[in-house]
């Protein structure tokens, strides 16, 4: 994961950065963490009751 921009803590800011859409599509955070693969779908059902 890469930090593309930082804002100051004291002011509101808007930042515009260029991204690589292929990298943005990837949900792999590290070699061991993937947002889609790590989902615990078995835990969703209790939330929907």
From CA 4, how far away is CA 10, in angstroms rounded?
Answer: 19
Write the pLDDT tens digit of every residue in 1-18.
688 898 888 989 999 999
Assess if residue 8 is contained within a domain: no
Task: Indicate if the pLDDT at residue 35 is higher than 90.
Answer: no
Res 11: pLDDT? 87
Assess if residue 15 is contained within a domain: no
Assess if residue 26 is contained within a domain: yes
Residues spanned by the domain of 28 = 20-49
**What does the angle CA 26 – CA 31 – CA 34 come to, to the nearest 5 degrees?**
45
**Cα within 13 Å of Cα(1), Cβ side:** 10
Q: Where are the alpha helices (DSSP H) in the chain?
A: 21-25, 44-48
Res 42: pLDDT? 86
**Domain count of the chain?**
1
Res 33: pLDDT? 84
Q: For the residues 22-26, what does the mean pLDDT come to?
A: 75
Percent of the chain with pLDDT over 90: 14
Assess if residue 31 is contained within a domain: yes
Residue 48 — pLDDT band, cuts 50, 70, 90?
A: confident
Contacts of 28 (CB under 8 A, 6+ apart): 34, 35
């Amino acid at each position: 994961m890469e930090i593309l921009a930082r804002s100051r803590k004291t002011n509101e800011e808007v930042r515009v950065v260029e991204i690589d859409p292929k990298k943005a599509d990837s949900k792999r955070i590290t070699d061991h963490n993937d947002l889609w693969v790590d989902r615990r779908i078995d835990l969703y059902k209790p939330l929907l009751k």
